[in-house]
Amino acid sequence: MGTHYDVLIVGGGHAGSTAAIMLRQNGFEGSIAIAGDEPELPYERPPLSKEYFAGEKEFERILIRPEAFWAERNVEMLLGRRVTAVDAGARSVALEDGETLTYGKLIWAAGGTPRRLVCAGHDLARVHAVRNRVDVDRMMSELPEVARAVVIGGGYIGLEAAAVLAKLGKQVVLLEALDRVLARVAGEDISRFYEADHRAHGVDIRTGVAVDCITGEAHATGVRLADGSEIAADMVIVGVGIAPAVEPLAAAGAVIGNGVEVDEYCRTSLPDIYAVGDCAAHENRFAGGARVRVESVQNANDQATTAAKHIVGTAEPYAAIPWFWSNQYDLRLQTVGISAGHDETVLRGDPAARSFSVIYLKNGAVVALDCVNAVKDYVQGRKLVVERMSPEKARLADASVPLKELL
């Protein structure tokens, strides 16, 4: 048997690195290792479609902690090491290079793998996903030869990448299969606002379109749509979501749905195996108790903290309020709560002034806010969501009334 760790963490992203940090912060003195398949120390993923891609932030500035931190905290970094199998009975994992490691507790924090297109040309050169540093470094190295880019997928990552490309002076076409961008995560007011803003920045947003294939020989040169038309492109970026990275856990017998299912302490159905972050499906009170997978830094960090505290014996059930942000052009969107399932919206402020909020209600109670350049609403609105308050709609809509006065 190979090396034994009291806690072995699989995946060195936001959730995995935070689990190690929180274990030490909460007094855990046993051995800890992070086995991560990327060659880098843990780094922040959000800048990959924002400042890092734009060339405004160097890689060292997006490291979650400097190298010395991990050595000082005695967290062993097994970088470039992929876990291929888990044996829950033997409390061991197999690495791709043939080594076996044993553990006391395993924290699975493997995130997700970008969904690929299945059409012809999906694997051509110059077709990119945006998930890790390697993806973005490759995109950046091609930029000097790119005049025209096509982005497939109008979620946050696609829109952020489109904003960077537009700012860099590239001609950008963004294709979305549904009838509006951000359809899965935001209400229609937000979608229409972002569509208009991108168009004002020169991005050609096309909704309700189906991709037939990616064309090109040595590399991608265009995207053909189902209606037979073709859009020329020197680069294609695909942002159509992720599939949770849970195969070894599934093979080991864990209960899997949309991700690996965990309880309120982030425990999987397998003994001494936790799962946290993008790969973990949990019952979320802010989604009305539905089992969801939340893809955000907040969720990764807070679930990692829950698992770490459970291991040291100071557990609190996971009940953190979801929050998220997205930066595009001069727009900072901040979201709190989960808007899916809302039955009413209230617009607060003036979109034309580029500072406003959309408040989502369900049965009259506030379930979420999307705040665009409206940080006060975001900060003060949190409590409305936590307490599920039902303020008068006219007062919610009146931007001259601070939200804290409605508490």
Ligand X SMILES: Cc1cc2nc3c(=O)[nH]c(=O)nc-3n(C[C@H](O)[C@H](O)[C@H](O)COP(=O)(O)OP(=O)(O)OC[C@H]3O[C@@H](n4cnc5c(N)ncnc54)[C@H](O)[C@@H]3O)c2cc1C
Q: Interface residues with ligand X (CB under 6 A)? A: 10-16, 35-38, 45-46, 48-49, 82-83, 109-111, 130-131, 157, 245, 277-278, 295-298, 300, 324-326
For residues 235 and 146, is the Cβ–Cβ distance under 8 A? yes
For residues 164 and 51, is the Cβ–Cβ distance under 8 A? no
Closest approach, Cβ 235 to ligand X, in A, equals: 16
Closest approach, Cβ 166 to ligand X, in A, equals: 17
- Listed in sequence order, the DSSP H helices in 26-79 are 67-72
- DSSP string computed for 333-383: EEEEE--TT--EEEEEEEGGGTEEEEEEEETTEEEEEEEES-HHHHHHHHH
Closest approach, Cβ 24 to ligand X, in A, equals: 17
Closest approach, Cβ 139 to ligand X, in A, equals: 11
Q: Which of 138, 166, 134 shows the shortest CA–CA distance to 150?
A: 166
Please identify the residue of the shown chain whose CB is closest to the bound ligand X: 13
Label residue 235 exposed, middle or buried (CB < 10 Å: 0-12, 13-18, 19+). Answer: buried
C-beta of 191 vs 326, nearer to ligand X: 326
Distinct helix (H) and strand (E) counts, the chain: 9, 26
C-beta of 49 vs 380, nearer to ligand X: 49
For residues 338 and 367, is the Cβ–Cβ distance under 8 A? yes
C-beta of 176 vs 295, nearer to ligand X: 295
Tokens for 294, please give them: 């939340």
Closest approach, Cβ 205 to ligand X, in A, equals: 19
Closest approach, Cβ 260 to ligand X, in A, equals: 11
Strands (E) in 153-192, as ranges, are 171-176
Tokens for 228, please give them: 């037979």
Closest approach, Cβ 83 to ligand X, in A, equals: 4
Provide the 8-state DSSP code for 90: T
For residues 40 and 28, is the Cβ–Cβ distance under 8 A? no
C-beta of 37 vs 234, nearer to ligand X: 37
Closest approach, Cβ 202 to ligand X, in A, equals: 22
Q: What is the β-pairing status of strands 355-362 and 365-372?
A: antiparallel
C-beta of 173 vs 294, nearer to ligand X: 294
Provide the 8-state DSSP code for 44: -
